[in-house]
Amino acid sequence: MYLLVFAILVGGTDIEVNLASVQSAIPYGEYVSILLGLAALKAALIAMFYQHLKYEPKSLSTWVLVGLVIASLLMSLSFIQLHVGH
C-alpha cells in the first residue's frame, strides 16, 4: 500500500511538471487550479496513508480539518479584500 501511494505521488508530480511544459495552452486560472488540486490530492494521500489519518478515529481527522478551514479563511477573506468589490 505504501509503495502504491508512493507511485501515485511520484506520478502526480510528473503530471504537474508536464503540465508546466504545456502551460501556455491552458487558461491560467485553470492551470493554477489543476496544480493546486493535484497538490491537495497528494497532501491528502500522505495524510491519509502515511500519517494514518484514514485509520484514526474520526475525531482526529475532524480536528485536522478545523485547522485547514481556519487557514483557508485567512487566505480567502484576504483575497476578497484585494480583488472583490472595489
Q: Which of 22, 25, 30, 83 binds other proteins (CB under 8 A)?
A: 83
User: For every residue of the chain, which 3-state class applies, written as one string?
Assistant: CHHHHHHHHHHHHHHHHHHHHCHHHCCHHHHHHHHHHHHHHHHHHHHHHHCCHHHCCHHHHHHHHHHHHHHHHHHHHHHHHHHCCC
Q: Which of 25, 27, 30, 66 binds other proteins (CB under 8 A)?
A: 66
Q: Which residues bind other proteins (CB under 8 A)?
A: 2-3, 6, 9-10, 13, 16-17, 19-20, 23, 31-32, 35-36, 38-39, 42-43, 46-47, 50-51, 56-57, 59-60, 63-64, 66-68, 70-75, 77-86
